[in-house]
Amino acid sequence: MKILCVGMNHRSAPLDLRQCLAFDKTQTERALALLKTRYDTAEFVILSTCNRVEIYSASPVDDQPTAADMVAELARLHHVELQMLSDETVYKLRDEEAVEHLLCVASSLDSMVVGESQIIWQTKEAFLWAIDAEATGKYLNRLFHRAFSTAKKVHAATEIGRRRTSVAGVAVELASRIFSDFRRKRVLVVGAGEMAELAITHLKADGVEDVMVVNRSGERGRSLAERFGADFCSWDRLDDCLAASDIVISSVSAGGPVLQRQQMADVHRRRRYANWMILDLGVPRNVDADVGRLSNVFLYDVDRLGQVVSDNIEQRRQEVDAARSIIADEARAYIEWFQSRDVGPLIKRLEGRLHELGDEELERLFRRLPDDVPPEQREEIRLATHRIVHKLLHGPISVLKEEARQDRAQMSIRALRRLFRLDDHLPPPDDAACVQPGDDSCGSDEGGEE
């Protein structure tokens, strides 16, 4: 069997091209049905997100689809010119590379924001759709389950997913460290512009219910509050609204601070010095920097939040090495299992290879023998050669089969593949020009690029 991954991501292809080749649920179902009809011995899963489009397949080694077939299918399914899917934009991965790639994808190492958590759900969804379409089988089922467990392991064992990488995410995390339940706190949004709207959207999405808007322009503020089901407070009651708040998000367009230190100190006294979180999203700042020195006041401006986001992204990147180590181990475990399932075809290939060698030598011998050697004798010699090959292989094959039954054939399989060069994507010994597996220019003895 071979495992293939053919696709493109945010690094290999521009957004326009990815959008042309994206699959929604209906398109995925249709595509899987079509692929199964064309290649009934193969298994397929299609993963399509805003940052990648990938088709995974498992199929017999000597059978279609090859990687080239899959690229052609991708173009055909979306009525796109095949020339648009060049080697620069579309990657073709096989076996170990494909397995490791999927594990990296599911663990979010291949994501635009390393450590993001959405990709695992997208991968699960893609797998479920493939199950519903009866497009998967033993190999991809096991592979995808391995991918999910690896992702869980990576996220548990490393910090890769823990640090927030957006300003909103960082703010929520800080709020949850300051307040025991920030969703029950009163949030005051100062301003009614785009940032204020974004802030209210995030707050509501995070479950905050008590939101109040205050703005210099009453009309805009009221309109924003109504749209989001928030309360509205007029600017002249700003101090009262501040005194009643636990979290303040300020994003007003002003030439300088609109919330001064003394004003905030007076309000803080009215609040009886309860914990106060202030997010100053204004540029230039809306809140006097000295406000952050007041006791129990946690003031974060855009620079501070941006710095935290950068630090978090950097920390996530540092976790990548640890994550890759886990992924390499898991990929190896899957490949060993995968190769141990290959005992039958492997034995067939080994026998075929040795018989081929035997037949070559027989032909050479027959050319040297006198012409008057009867055909029956030639046949006897041929049969004797075959019997020799069978006897030579009988012992090793019995051992291999027994080991496979006990699920410990991995080492023997590896040795056989290496010693007899049974991997179909390895170049023939006399082709010194090939250096890359799957290189088109190789003309491998299995007949083509995979």
Partner 1 sequence: MTILLPVHVAAMVGAILILLSGGVAGLVYLAQERSLRHGRVEGWNRRLPSIERLQRFNQRAVYGGFGLLTFGIAVGAAILFLRAESANLNWLDSRILATFSVWLLCAGLVALAARPRFRGRPVALLTIAALMLTVTIPVVAGMLWPSWHAFFGGGGAAG
Quote the least distance from Cβ 210 to partner 1, whole Å.
Answer: 16
Helix (H) or strand (E) holding 35: helix 25-38
Going by the DSSP 8-state scheme, the letter that residue 374 receives in this structure is -
Q: Residue 294 and residue 292: Cα distance in Å, rounded?
A: 6
* Of residues 235 and 298, the one with the C-beta less far from partner 1: 298
Contact 169, 176 (CB under 8 A): no
User: What tokens appear for 290 in the block?
Assistant: 């000295």
Question: Among candidates 23, 33, 1, 264, which has minimal Cα distance to 142?
Answer: 1
Helix (H) or strand (E) holding 197: helix 194-205
Choose which of 75, 135, 170, 249 interacts with partner 1 (CB under 8 A): 170
Show the binding pattern over residues 251-270: x = contacts partner 1 (CB under 8 A), - = does not. ------------------x-
Q: Which stretch binds partner 1 (CB under 8 A): 68-76, 159-167, 206-214, 417-425?
A: 159-167
Choose which of 149, 176, 262, 398 interacts with partner 1 (CB under 8 A): 176
Q: Which stretch binds partner 1 (CB under 8 A): 10-18, 106-114, 155-163, 420-428?
A: 155-163
Choose which of 13, 67, 147, 174 interacts with partner 1 (CB under 8 A): 174
How remote is the C-alpha of 194 from its chain's centroid?
32
Query: Is 275 near partner 1 (CB under 8 A)?
Result: yes
Count CB atoms within 10 A of the CB of residue 393: 16
Choose which of 26, 83, 180, 406 interacts with partner 1 (CB under 8 A): 180
How remote is the C-alpha of 24 from its chain's centroid?
17
Note if 50 is an active site residue: yes
Longest distance between any two alpha carbons in the chain, whole Å = 119
The position carrying tokens 């209906």 is 26
Going by the DSSP 8-state scheme, the letter that residue 23 receives in this structure is -
- Considering the candidates 5, 20, 50, 434, report the single residue annotated as catalytic: 50
Q: Residue 130 and residue 149: Cα distance in Å, rounded?
A: 18
Q: Residue 217 and residue 221: Cα distance in Å, rounded?
A: 6
**Taking the CA atoms of the chain, what radius of gyration do you get in angstroms?**
32
Choose which of 173, 210, 290, 359 interacts with partner 1 (CB under 8 A): 173
Interacting positions 365-384 with partner 1 (CB under 8 A) = none
User: What tokens appear for 352 in the block?
Assistant: 């075929």
Choose which of 68, 178, 335, 362 interacts with partner 1 (CB under 8 A): 178
* Of residues 215 and 312, the one with the C-beta less far from partner 1: 312
Residue type, 450: E
Q: Which stretch binds partner 1 (CB under 8 A): 163-171, 209-217, 221-229, 387-395?
A: 163-171
Interacting positions 303-362 with partner 1 (CB under 8 A) = 304-305, 307-308
* Of residues 275 and 412, the one with the C-beta less far from partner 1: 275
309: CB partners within 8 A, 6+ apart:
164, 165, 166, 167, 170
The position carrying tokens 């050319």 is 367
Choose which of 145, 177, 317, 401 interacts with partner 1 (CB under 8 A): 177
Choose which of 2, 92, 101, 163 interacts with partner 1 (CB under 8 A): 163
* Of residues 147 and 277, the one with the C-beta less far from partner 1: 277
| Site residues (vs partner 1, CB under 8 A) | 159, 162-164, 170, 173-174, 176-180, 269, 272-275, 292, 295-296, 298, 300, 304-305, 307-308
Catalytic residues, by residue number, are 50
